[in-house]
């Protein structure tokens, strides 16, 4: 075990050095020469200091992203290798004989451990955002959000574990199929409750104060057949200088939401383009396709997870302090395998998402016929969030669910040239 721990830590350190070296020595942002001096060139809408800050901020955030993923894997491995998972299971079994309470006990302490061990990465990310002026969130508010994250994570761990181990104990070979069948209504249920239950835990939502603007947005929504009677404003200025807007939820729980930072810094034409973009997702049923995609990925993921977890227990059970898959102590192994599968699938998921975002841009331009407003909106989004205009390919593949700002502005510039 000690040898495995040393190899894991040594491998992670070498990986960290490689990632830091890549981003600080080799990944230099640039755009193709033919687009120099155009609206897609950051030099035309960012000051030299803003360009420098954007490069530095993006570099640090990218480094943290690529370091945090294997860091999470190490946490799960250490919980298994050090026998912590087994200790928690025995404590749960000594505390109560009730299966549901045992699951709740185990998942609370596991979630607490994971939260504590990931807190340094989260803190560094928060500190960097504060240092570069992107985040405006006080430490007390940040800690409040961390507490909410912990409670939600605990509830999710409990629900997943309750479903998984209930079926494993009854159907050793087909548990993954029954768990997937249960996950389908749960996925849809969470899509319903997120706008009205989960999101308000983090921020205050209230009807848009600018009624004239609300009327214009609702007119766009009516043409798009979006069942919305109000546009909501959220007080994100208490936490960030970045800009955003979105349409969330499904059916009668659909919500059109604008960040107050967006309302403060964008002109009406720019806001209408952004809202038309978000409505494009609704019109093209991207939310429903997303739910269907999630359900499909869960089917494949649970099938593979069942095979891999059982193989790992047969092969490395002694090292993981595990004998059978139905033990609570195997849950960190489930998390590890599912996290690995999610990372492997992320390039494909992100690619599909970028195609949907591009389609929404096309829809918005067809409705607003205002590429100038769209271009200026993207430029202001870049400035406010210190976004990277044209990130390295590695970052785009694993991090970007949207086309890059460079790609979006080039698309709009090409439309202008055709007019």
Provide the pLDDT for residue 101. Answer: 95
Q: 221 in a domain, yes or no?
A: no
Range of the domain at 12: 2-202+286-418
Provide the pLDDT for residue 252. Answer: 61
Token duo for residue 33: 């020469």
pTM equals 0.91
Q: 312 in a domain, yes or no?
A: yes
Helix then strand then coil, in percent of the chain rounded to 5, is 75, 5, 20
Residue with tokens 């040594």: 10
281 marked among binding-site residues: yes
Token duo for residue 281: 């997702």
Low pLDDT (below 70) residues in the chain? 228, 250-254, 419
Report d(CA 378, CA 408) in Å as an integer: 8
Report d(CA 67, CA 128) in Å as an integer: 15
Comparing C-alpha atoms, which of 23, 122, 46 is closest to residue 386?
46
- Contact between 245 and 258 under an 8 Å Cβ cutoff? The reply is yes
Q: 18 in a domain, yes or no?
A: yes
**Candidates 356, 361, 370, 388; catalytic one:** 361
Provide the pLDDT for residue 283. Answer: 86
**Candidates 72, 214, 260, 278; catalytic one:** 278
Provide the pLDDT for residue 134. Answer: 94
Q: 270 in a domain, yes or no?
A: no
Spatial strand order of the sheet with 245-248 comes to 205-207, 231-234, 255-259, 245-248
Comparing C-alpha atoms, which of 156, 40, 80 is closest to residue 416?
40
41 labelled catalytic: no
72 labelled catalytic: no
Provide the pLDDT for residue 253. Answer: 65
402 marked among binding-site residues: no
Helix (H) or strand (E) holding 283: helix 268-283
Distances (CA, A) of 15 to 63, 69, 264, 286, 327: 11, 11, 42, 36, 32
Evaluated on CA atoms 314, 318, 322, 324, the torsion sign reads positive
Helix (H) or strand (E) holding 376: helix 371-385
Exposure string over 385-395, b if 16+ CB within 10 A, otherwise e: bbbbbbbbeeb
Q: 230 in a domain, yes or no?
A: no
Q: 46 in a domain, yes or no?
A: yes
Provide the pLDDT for residue 29. Answer: 80
What domain count does the chain have?
A: 1
93 marked among binding-site residues: no
Reduced 3-state DSSP string for 77-90: HHHHHCCHHHHHHH
Exposure string over 145-172, b if 16+ CB within 10 A, otherwise e: bbeebbeebbeebbbbbbbbbbbbeeee
Provide the pLDDT for residue 251. Answer: 63
Q: 219 in a domain, yes or no?
A: no
């Amino acid at each position: 075990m000690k040898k495995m721990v040393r190899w894991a830590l040594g491998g992670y350190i070498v990986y960290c050095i490689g990632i830091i070296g890549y981003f600080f020595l080799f990944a230099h942002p640039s755009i193709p020469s033919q687009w120099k001096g155009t609206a897609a060139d950051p030099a035309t809408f960012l000051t030299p200091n803003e360009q420098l800050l954007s490069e530095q901020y993006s570099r640090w955030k990218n480094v943290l992203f690529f370091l945090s993923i294997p860091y999470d894997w190490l946490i799960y491995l250490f919980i298994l290798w050090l026998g912590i998972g087994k200790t928690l299971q025995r404590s749960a079994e000594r505390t109560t004989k009730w299966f549901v309470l045992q699951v709740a006990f185990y998942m609370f302490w596991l979630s607490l451990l994971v939260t504590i061990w990931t807190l340094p990465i989260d803190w560094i990310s928060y500190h960097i955002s504060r240092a570069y002026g992107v985040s405006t969130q006080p430490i007390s508010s940040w800690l409040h959000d961390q507490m909410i994250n912990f409670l939600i994570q605990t509830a999710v761990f409990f629900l997943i574990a309750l479903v998984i181990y209930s079926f494993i104990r009854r159907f050793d070979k087909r548990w993954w199929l029954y768990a997937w069948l249960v996950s389908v209504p749960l996925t849809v249920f969470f899509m319903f409750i997120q706008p009205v239950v989960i999101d308000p835990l983090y921020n205050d939502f209230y009807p848009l104060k600018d009624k004239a603007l609300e009327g214009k947005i609702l007119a766009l929504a009516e043409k798009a057949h979006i069942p919305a009677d109000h546009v909501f404003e959220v007080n994100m200025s208490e936490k960030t200088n970045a800009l955003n807007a979105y349409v969330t939820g499904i059916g009668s729980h659909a919500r059109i939401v604008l960040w107050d930072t967006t309302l403060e810094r964008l002109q009406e034409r720019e806001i209408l383009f952004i809202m038309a973009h978000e409505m494009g997702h609704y019109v093209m049923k991207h939310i429903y396709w997303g739910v269907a995609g999630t359900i499909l990925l869960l089917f494949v993921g649970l099938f593979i997870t069942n095979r891999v977890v059982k193989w790992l227990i047969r092969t490395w059970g002694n090292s993981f302090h595990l004998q059978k898959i139905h033990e609570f102590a195997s849950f960190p192994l489930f998390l590890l395998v599912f996290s690995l599968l999610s990372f492997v699938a992320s390039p494909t998921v992100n690619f599909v998402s970028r195609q949907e975002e591009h389609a929404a841009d096309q829809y918005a331009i067809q409705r607003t016929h205002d590429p100038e407003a769209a271009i200026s909106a993207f430029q202001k989004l870049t400035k406010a969030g210190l976004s990277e205009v044209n990130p390295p390919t590695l970052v785009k593949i694993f991090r970007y669910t949207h086309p890059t700002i460079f790609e979006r502005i080039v698309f709009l510039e090409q439309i202008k040239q055709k007019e």
